[in-house]
Structure 1
Amino acid sequence: MSEIATDPATIERWKATRRDELDAEAIYVALARSEVHPERQELFTQIAADERRHADHWNARLLEVGVDPGPADPSQRARILCRLAGDFGDTVVVPIMRDRELLSTEAYLDESGVFSRDEERHARTLAALVGDTRGEPIGRALARLQRGRAAGGNALRAAVLGVNDGLVSNASLVMGVAGAGVASEDILITGVAGLIAGAASMAMGEWISVQSSRELSERELAVEEAHIAASPDVERAELALVYEQKGLSPREAGQVAERLSADPVTALDSHAREELGIDPDELGGSPWVAAGTSFALFILGAILPIIPFTFLSGNAAVGLALAISAAGLFGIGAAITLLTGRSVLRSGTRQLLFGAAAFAATYGIGALFGTAVG
């Protein structure tokens, strides 16, 4: 038995990798079950089989050195993602899994490097299949999955942050007013006002942010289109340099750039993605959708701490508002683990502690202010 095989850190890495592979298998099986298109269902089934093969490899390595691999059941995070796959299909889950494929550490763990090549193939196959079934060119689908397709993961991240903003800001406002000794009816009015004001502010800010970004991107595209029309040779050479930097030989890069530059529409699309980092089809998304989503998510979080004041008063209402807010914060922290893969308990507790600090600070300031004014 080699020294590296008995090294505790190596054993733990093997066990963690096996667990990650088993989780991935379960998630891809759930995606396959939720898929209505046969070719996509087959894709997810094949990837799940690869993940099972990888897990069996690490299971065998652990048994070889006399280590119990542990249970084969999916982790809590995997079970949540399986549920999301059943409810929403690939909208949210596939971008998260694609990040997992690209960031996999199996290139370090697998001496042959076969597994890392499998993960890269998985990511590219996912991109190709998504593009093919939606009538997009494969290259455009790959680019969209590299930047824009991650919008599924970004949407989940934005949802978590939006609810968190609403909950923390309004709960802090309610606690501050409660600390000042204000009547429960006034606390309810204050909380509702804070909810509406905060949601409106979030929506307006999001609209301005997305709209400004779209207008900037449109201007950059117009400038680039003008450059392509005025100096096609120069722009073609610039595109060739981009592909040289990506690893192509000068001859190959020149051939690719020449083919892409033959059509003005394709040329602009290529320059936008490769030079400007802009997806011409998306331009950052709709500002109205972003504003409406921010408004709704903020309200979802902000309404929690004021619910008790609709049917309770005094310390009972304050206590229940704290309990609901604490549960909401822990839930938000747990939801974040869908993106980070960290411990639910650790993430939820961290979120709870941060929120509790904000609540305590505003309650204390409210109490001091109420005493001074009173």
Structure 2
Amino acid sequence: MNPVPARKYTDSLQTEVDASYLYGRIAAAEEVPAIARLFQELGEIEQEHAEKMQQRLKQDGHDISLPPPSWRARVLDRLGKILGYGYVIGVLMDTEKSIAVAQLSLKEKSNIAPSGDEVNHVRILQTLLNNKSKVTGEHISRIEGKHRSIGGNALRAAVLGANDGLVSNMSLVMGVAGATNGGSGVLLAGLAGLLAGALSMALGEWISVKSSQELYERQMALEMLEIETNPEGELRELALIYIAKGLPEEQAHQMAATAMSDPKRAHDILVKEELGINRDELEGSAWEAAIASFLLFAVGAVLPVIPFFYTSGNSAIIQSLVFSTLGLFIIGAAITLFTGKSVWYSGARQVLFGLAAAAITFFIGKWIGVSLAG
């Protein structure tokens, strides 16, 4: 049996420990006992995986203790308490995929045949559907709704919005600073860039949310019309949906008939299953989304402008770069909540790309300024 590099094993070990910890925290916060038991069981299985990895490490001569939950896992837990654990479930979906890949890779390098259980946790919905005795269709919908609402979560929007504001306005400020040697015009340009960019982001977000809501509402109205005008066809569609989920054909038709006896209930099911619409997305305010986008963009965009309020010239340029570098690193560190990468790697990468953009616009501005002066 070939020894496995300790670093790769310990990285996977930390991932397993974090997943176990987060599943346990989600279970503790879950109000529905059946769903809480599911997450508790998933956490126990991840803990078993971690212990087996630890044993394997010892066999390879690496005496490593089980690590505590990482800072990333603890931050995600705190965010779950504030924003709801739906976001954390989405992160765990991605984590499960990385765990499966890591397990298969390690087993391949160690000449161990896959057992088939490496991908058991990749899809929580599949686990729910295979455990119908404990979890009802209502509970399945609850988890599915949480999962589908992950894509537009507020945390990701906050980080990306601040990043857009910082990078775009820093590039603008450095371009004007290069052309004017950090003169008074930089402040005006920076504030104009902040306002224009924030307004553009807000308008774009308002249009996006409003148009999505209007589209969903129209699709839902059409679905209700189909139920009223062609109940037999909708009954067959609903039965096929249940069959696709793994239910026996006879049971699927019975459940479909029961659902169709109540048009509102049938409509709710078809809206979610056939159209893939999460009703929570219809409850969001387009104005709230627009205001949030404006503020988040402005938070990032104001950083490179701050020094030009009280100084100018090279001093302001240097301070602007310092503020922007700190902001870029913090944003890069925040991105690790989504990616799981090293804070230093992600932060340094963000700083590198941001400063590269600033350098390009600075030297272009310098060239333009020299050309105009000449």
Structure 1 pair 90–241 and aligned structure 2 pair: CA distance change class (3 A): closer
Moved more, 90-99 or 59-68: 90-99
Q: Which runs of 5+ in 1 are unaligned?
A: none
Query: Does structure 1 retain, via aligned residues, the 8 Å contact 2:20–2:43?
Result: yes
Query: Does structure 2 retain, via aligned residues, the 8 Å contact 1:101–1:122?
Result: no
Q: For residues 202-254 of structure 1, what are the alpha-carbon distances to aligned partners after superposition, in whole Å with 9 as ceiling and x for unaligned?
A: 00010001111111111111111111110011111122223333333433332
User: Which whole-Å CA distance do the structure 2 matches of 1:198 and 1:48 have between them?
Assistant: 44
Does 2:51 correspond to 1:52? no
Structure 1 pair 350–43 and aligned structure 2 pair: CA distance change class (3 A): same
Aligned to 1:351: 350
Aligned to 1:178: 177
* Aligned Cα root-mean-square deviation (Å): 3.4
| Structure 1 position 120, deviation (Å) | 5.9
Aligned to 2:207: 208
Q: For residues 75-114 of structure 1, what are the alpha-carbon distances to aligned partners after superposition, in whole Å with 9 as ceiling and x for unaligned?
A: 3423433453566563643442354346641884696666
Aligned to 1:193: 192
- 1:23-34 equivalence runs, <5 A: 23-27=18-22
| Structure 1 position 43, deviation (Å) | 8.0
| Structure 1 position 122, deviation (Å) | 9.8
Aligned to 1:261: 260
Query: Does structure 2 retain, via aligned residues, the 8 Å contact 1:101–1:123?
Result: no
Does 2:17 correspond to 1:22? yes
| Structure 1 position 71, deviation (Å) | 6.0
Aligned to 1:236: 235
Query: Does structure 1 retain, via aligned residues, the 8 Å contact 2:182–2:316?
Result: no
Query: Does structure 2 retain, via aligned residues, the 8 Å contact 1:210–1:284?
Result: no
User: Which whole-Å CA distance do the structure 1 matches of 2:293 and 2:118 have between them?
Assistant: 40
Query: Does structure 2 retain, via aligned residues, the 8 Å contact 1:31–1:89?
Result: no
Structure 1 vs Structure 2: percent identity of aligned residues? Answer: 44
User: Which whole-Å CA distance do the structure 2 matches of 1:119 and 1:14 have between them?
Assistant: 20
| Structure 1 position 274, deviation (Å) | 1.6
**Number of aligned pairs?**
358
- 1:288-367 equivalence runs, <5 A: 288-367=287-366
Aligned to 2:110: none
Aligned to 1:169: 168
Moved more, 161-170 or 254-263: 254-263
| Structure 1 position 61, deviation (Å) | 2.4
Q: For residues 142-177 of structure 1, what are the alpha-carbon distances to aligned partners after superposition, in whole Å with 9 as ceiling and x for unaligned?
A: 2202312x25x7322211110011001111111011
Query: Which of 73, 90, 97 matches 2:68?
Result: 73
Query: Does structure 2 retain, via aligned residues, the 8 Å contact 1:308–1:321?
Result: yes
Q: What is the identity, as a one-letter code, of the residue corresponding to 1:8?
A: V
Aligned to 1:8: 4
Q: Which runs of 5+ in 2 are unaligned?
A: 108-112
User: Which whole-Å CA distance do the structure 2 matches of 1:58 and 1:262 have between them?
Assistant: 52
